[in-house]
A and B are shown apart, each in its own frame.
Chain A
Amino acid sequence: MSLFETARKIYPRRVKGTFRSLKWLSMIVLLGLYYTAPWLRWDRGPHVPDQAILVDLVGQRGYFFGIEIWPQEVYLLVGVLILAAIGLFFATALLGRVWCGYACPQTVWTDLFVWVERFVQGDRNARRKLDESPWTLEKVWKKSLTHLIWLLIGAVTGGAWVFYFNDAPTLFSDLWHLDVSWSVLGWIIALTLSTYFMAGFARENVCTYMCPYARFQSAMFDRDTLIITYEAERGEPRGKHKKGDSWDGKGHCIDCDSCVIVCPMGIDIRDGLQMQCISCGLCIDACNSVMDKIELPRGLIRYDTESNQRQRREGYRTLDIAHRKSGKTVVPQQKMRWVRPRTLAYALILSTVGSLMLTAIVLRPMTELTVNHARAPQFVRLSDGSVRNNYQIKILNKSHDDRAYRLSTQGLSQARLEVLAAGDEAVETLHVPANSVASFRVRVDTPEATTHGRSDIRFLLSDTRNPAQNPAQNPESARHDSYFIR
């Protein structure tokens, strides 16, 4: 009885074709974006970072081109995460696991690492032979060079990550002088090592054992989702085939194992759809090049849907097996059903959340007011019998200019308002510096016996330069509802 599953090492062979090219393209675009994005500049005026994409943890701001996020607006991040999740579901329902095959960082970096491995050690057979050979000088330098390049890629990956949280040019020169904080260094080391281990060693095990998405993706699948298929009806019975031999009684699969040895997941797609399959399409490229060589129509392994495959299976049953050789007799690919209840539902949710997000960002107020009613004590009786309630207010000035506001109340006709700035100084005009939050203490007094129990009170904040109090008319104004107790 074995206590554990032994991992077997996979030596994916090099392959050329449409989907391999797509994968290279997606790798270049995605890695290019990841490494260069922090270097993009975006002018926001003086005293504000000019990095297009920056998470400023110390300054508590997030910058994304023209959008500036305060900690209070993290709900926008929730919206982005929902968009990302639904987008993933949508893409999966339409195209299957395209994310896994082309865009997932695990796939992209593993692809890059395998490329390095191949560049230094050679293709599948050479690598296998090198692994089995004793530790010769050649093996030592080839192995060390591979691991060195892997570690370098890992270091650059971690290095790029920290640029998203710091001014990239400044940090870059600081890095050369080793003048960086432990957190920066820690992140670089952690991401260097995780990239090295994940893409160098764990590889397909991450998808099979660690990734939850690989496990629940089947919930997004239906009969019309694109998956990688093998046409058993056309391919079987598989067997070796010599040039010039008759195809009578034989399937089109010549059992060359090309699809298996190029697979980065180490599976045999001819066994049908499997949990491990990341839909990268490399087996399609491999099979198509073999089909070209033996002059059979392409597409024995292809991106297709389950319902299409079923129809084609029916089609093959009506064909004489001897006529398969001609390309014309291969049952043509059916049309895709893109519009389905499932895809419609995802598209609807996607567009709803998207437009909500857009509205939220466009209508984002530049001024926010929050009012906290003091609870200890709820109210204070003064000597002349009047009643006082204390409030703590916070004003967020998100603009890049200093602002002066005026505060007023609505709802209590005889309320007397007093605003105290820092230092307990009573003020008429509330000054809030650019891009900051200011707190004030507010006292509201009402004469004796004008209110009873709990009454509603509304605080209105208006910009002194543009006194319109309706936030719809003036984004520099704000209001907040609270209560008054006696």
Chain B
Amino acid sequence: MSDAPEPHRDIDAHSGVETTGHEWDGLKELNNPAPRWWLIVWMLTIVWAIGYWVVYPSWPTLSGHTKGIAGWTQYDKLKHEQAEITQRQSGWLGKFHKASFAEIKQDPVLFEFARAGGEVVFKENCAACHGAGGEGRRGYPNLNDDDWLFGGTAEDIYNTINVGSHSTHPNTHAVAMPAFGAVMGREGMLTPAQIDDVATYVSYLRQPVASAAFTRGQAVFQQNCVSCHGEGGIGNRQMGAPRLNDAIWLYGGDKATLVQTITKGRAGVMPSWQSRMSDDSRRQVAIYVHSLGGGE
């Protein structure tokens, strides 16, 4: 703010503002500097950054990164926060641990706690096959409907989660639909014509029609299928034999799929989860699946 310009200063005649001395084609750059406090703040941020480097992990090195004197890491932070969450949950978990399914059902808050936990466990472990909302897909049962292979009470579901199907568990559900057709050089139990008839019969079980194929198929069914699928295809949960007179099909209810199923057989696999997650988690998942809509 001195009045007289110093000799080396170049003052722009038009605006009276000092120039930087840079000139392009006769145009000069005016020098309108930032206020000092701004500059000081900028320098302070640099000082802050240097302090930060000392205290916190910051610079990459060949074998990792500088650690900082505070010893702070994201892993520690995560561990700390997880411990906090476990601590917060422990009250409810303790209560849940001791309660039976019936007792849990009596306590709406405890039930919602179990259901919320079960949903998380389900999404992490079960959704890969059964879908994010338990909607299932071909060969993997939809858990939202009211059709259950091995029973739909919370206890039944819990048991199925424990033992799996065709799993390594000693008590696994291990029922397979045998192949009735000629496969791998073995002679079939039924001829292709019989299979065609019985497929026709099964596909019309919900709305029976009077036709020769239906009647022929009924006879084949009585001889070969009733022992597992029951009279009129009502299914058998003891065996894990699906109900055939409902609207729900695990592999498909069209004739071509039925022919394929009868000819080649089916054996769905679900692993046993007993050794893969805690008992609390398995019971939570059972409650969640039971609440999806079809629970009995």
Contact = CB atoms under 8 A, between A and B. Distances in A.
B247 A4 contact: no
Given A382-B248, A383-B247, A424-B105, A1 B38 contact: no
A362 interface: no
B242 to A, nearest CB: 11
A375 B133 CA distance: 8
Contact of B144 (A6, A375, A383, A390): A390
Contacts of B133: 374-377
B247 A448 contact: yes
A377 to B, nearest CB: 3
Interface string B134-163: 110000001011110000000000000000
B142 A4 contact: no
A5 B40 CA distance: 12
A474 B182 CA distance: 71
The 8 tightest CB contacts between A and B, nearest first, are: A376-B133, A423-B108, A377-B135, A383-B246, A385-B247, A422-B108, A380-B144, A423-B111
B293 interface: yes
A205 B247 contact: no
Contact of B18 (A1, A384, A388): A1
A67 interface: no
A384 B38 contact: no
Contacts of A443: 293
A7 B35 contact: yes
* Main secondary structure on B side of the interface with A: loop
A381 interface: yes
Given A1-B9, A1-B21, A376-B131, A383 B36 contact: no
A8 B1 contact: yes
Contacts of A384: 246-247
Nearest to A378: B135
A380 B38 contact: no
B34 interface: yes
A206 to B, nearest CB: 10
B206 interface: yes
Contacts of B87: none
A381 B18 contact: no
Contacts of B144: 377, 380, 388, 390
Identify the interface centre among B36, B115, B293: most chain A CB within 10 Å of its CB: B293
B95 to A, nearest CB: 14
Could you say which interface size class chain A belongs to? 20 to 34
B36 A422 contact: no
B246 A423 contact: no
A219 interface: no
A387 to B, nearest CB: 9
A8 B37 CA distance: 12
A209 B37 CA distance: 10
Nearest to A380: B144
Given A380-B135, A380-B145, 19 more contacts: A2-B33, A4-B35, A4-B38, A4-B39, A5-B35, A6-B1, A7-B37, A202-B37, A380-B293, A380-B294, A381-B247, A382-B145, A382-B248, A383-B146, A383-B147, A383-B248, A388-B145, A422-B109, A424-B290
B248 A7 contact: no
A376 B130 CA distance: 11
Given A1-B18, A382-B248, A384-B246, A376 B135 contact: yes
B18 A2 contact: yes
Interface string B29-68: 0010111111100000000000000000000000000000
Contact of B36 (A4, A388, A424, A425): A4
A96 to B, nearest CB: 25
B33 A382 contact: no
Contacts of B246: 383-385
